[in-house]
Structure 1
């Protein structure tokens, strides 16, 4: 029988953060995970360089049925706090896009810092440890595992969501929540590529690898970012962002050239050189393979002088309001996050303790909190882990 003050289940971003900070408070902390190593998703994120925070992180960048829930934690532990920790350890990082900080070399450097913090603070980490049963003993919790039984005053669930099951993701955290009477809101894959109907998929397959800046809209929400054609459908930052707002059956409205008015550009081009071929003009606005497909589809041929203003308006309308109806998404296999999760109305936004279950805490992605693409979800992991650590 192992007696500890704090037992944390899940050695991911939020679990590691919570463990180190709780141990620094003098609490005896054990961190367990069923995987064979800690921080698997940290290492693979951001193409192996981990977009570990966003300096612009604010409540508006998070989705939750209870949008006020994130305010307290983000105020108490913001991006500058985590950057300060990284600076103390000498992590080299770069700002690849405004506000988005990535490890300069490897995400392994960041994971090493978190593990060092756990070592310095005295955290005991037990990997390959599978939970068999959790029992509420009133003043404490009993957690039976394949590595023995733990008795703890505070039990922290930091098991994440369902995204990327190949890295060990399971619905364990939701099961614990339901066991103790907390509601779990419906879950679905978030920040995920979309797939296309077979006919569209076959049509766009030759465009795999083509990327262009677009403005994409679904359900009154809009993002202007790059979009990428893939062998299965559409991806890239614009699609990943909008996937959090897209629902099955919805269309995506895509502006293929959001920078300027295509109508105005065509009129101007006709005035300057009426003998220019329209297909050459359009090919300068869009990636060549994409332009060629659209030109062939719509039979946009001939010189500009042959086209009147109404024809230009129709071309502009087609390119500024390109409508696609996805077949679905690639699902949890490639999703970066899980939408939905433990209903935050059952959890204190200050302590992260379940309101009706003393000593039971939920942090990170297992909660119904989902950030935008761009480092926001990691910032939520750090903030929720740190804030819970002050009360476990």
Structure 2
């Protein structure tokens, strides 16, 4: 079995790479561990697949070197993503914050675009494989693998590693790319779960657990960045879009700040009501902003049964601190089982920004999540997968 390139990993990056290589007349064989390609595409966005973001630039990515991304994003733009999917029957419908979903279609349709194109161009996708060994040869690379109980091998001048990161091991995620890179002397930026719910333990655990299911629109921030979206209280801590976003910038031991009423000043609102309606209780005043259950929980911090006219200066300061500067020190995160992506990965310094070829292992390319490129929530990581795949396909 011979090909122009072997692509290990049949996810977003691997599938796009096979298709783009096919457009150039290159023969590619995709080796996939799972029983079908695109496993993580299929579960993305709750099965709806947020396949890009209208505002994607290098600024929405965490990496040691954001300049590294400019070449890939210049070679394959958001407009290229839109055009590609529209050509094959998937139009985008923009939701909040530039997130683009297939209009009237879903993640299965996205995967079908790739599998049907691969079939049309006779790009082979072999599923249910286990890689046994990858050997450098005079001709390039030989990959030995097991398929349906039989040992097989394939030879090609170029090798593409697109096996993703560590999140969701039950979907087949492994550290294959990282181990392979380390074996060949490539530096790895320390990895950790990202876009992941945060856990609360200790004395505050019960308070958060009682609020499980409550969602509040907030501004969540730390010393680096802030995000404005919903947070979701859970029986083990905090989740929701704003928490997932800040988790990529959070490290164990750090405190995050939550503004429970962004764009409004709670004391200005209170003082306005005090002059006309000072006899109402603080709890009644707060009900205009939050659910009854959430207001009741705030009794831990605030004198809810006092009238707003009777609040002391210290109590008003406490109200401001609670609403606008609510401090949370998470104990940890929910780990790779619940993380959407991985932070860290193969150091971008090890790769050519123009081709994504390894500097230490010529002929080998790395793309997608295994590289130290971690996007925000909202389609950004797919845009990196498509862009890195396109760049690699041009050079294999």
| Shared fold, TM over 0.5 | yes
Indicate yes or no: 2:160 matched with 1:150: no
Query: What is aligned with 1:36?
Result: 35
Query: What is aligned with 1:266?
Result: 270
Larger mean Cα displacement after TM superposition, 360-369 or 350-359: 350-359
Query: What is aligned with 2:86?
Result: 87
What pairs up with 1:104-183 in 2 under 5 angstroms? 104-147=104-147, 148-183=152-187
Query: What is aligned with 2:57?
Result: 58
Distance 1:296 1:284 in 2: 19
**Deviation (angstroms), 1:308:** 4.3
Q: Are the aligned partners of 2:197 and 2:339 in contact in 1 as well (CA < 8 Å)?
A: yes
| C-alpha RMSD over aligned residues | 1.3
Larger mean Cα displacement after TM superposition, 117-126 or 337-346: 117-126
SS in 1 for 2:235: coil
Q: Are the aligned partners of 2:211 and 2:294 in contact in 1 as well (CA < 8 Å)?
A: yes
Query: What is aligned with 1:77?
Result: 76
| Cα deviations by residue, 1:123-176 (Å, 9 ceiling, x for unpaired) | 101000110001111441111101301111110000000011110000000111
Larger mean Cα displacement after TM superposition, 305-314 or 109-118: 305-314
Query: What is aligned with 1:101?
Result: 100
Query: What is aligned with 2:198?
Result: 194
SS in 1 for 2:336: helix
Larger mean Cα displacement after TM superposition, 169-178 or 84-93: 84-93
Larger mean Cα displacement after TM superposition, 235-244 or 353-362: 353-362
Point out 4+ residue stretches in structure 1 off by more than 4 angstroms.
none
Query: What is aligned with 1:219?
Result: 223
Q: Are the aligned partners of 1:204 and 1:229 in contact in 2 as well (CA < 8 Å)?
A: yes
Alignment match of 1:353 (pick from 346, 357, 370): 357
**Deviation (angstroms), 1:95:** 1.2
- TM-score normalised per structure 2: 0.96
Q: Are the aligned partners of 2:53 and 2:378 in contact in 1 as well (CA < 8 Å)?
A: yes
Distance 1:180 1:28 in 2: 26
Distance 2:156 2:89 in 1: 35
Distance 1:43 1:248, change over 3 A: same
Indicate yes or no: 2:314 matched with 1:325: no
Distance 2:45 2:265 in 1: 33
SS in 1 for 2:157: strand
Larger mean Cα displacement after TM superposition, 307-316 or 189-198: 307-316
Q: Are the aligned partners of 2:302 and 2:315 in contact in 1 as well (CA < 8 Å)?
A: no
Stretches of structure 2 lacking an aligned partner (at least 5 in a row): none
Distance 1:150 1:200 in 2: 56
**Deviation (angstroms), 1:99:** 1.4
| Cα deviations by residue, 1:150-204 (Å, 9 ceiling, x for unpaired) | 1111100000000111100000001111122211111000000000114322222
| Cα deviations by residue, 1:107-132 (Å, 9 ceiling, x for unpaired) | 10111112122222221010001100
Query: What is aligned with 1:5?
Result: 4
Query: What is aligned with 2:260?
Result: 256
How many residue pairs get aligned? The number is 391
Q: Are the aligned partners of 1:219 and 1:245 in contact in 2 as well (CA < 8 Å)?
A: no
SS in 2 for 1:331: coil
Distance 1:92 1:208 in 2: 36
What pairs up with 1:367-382 in 2 under 5 angstroms? 367-382=371-386
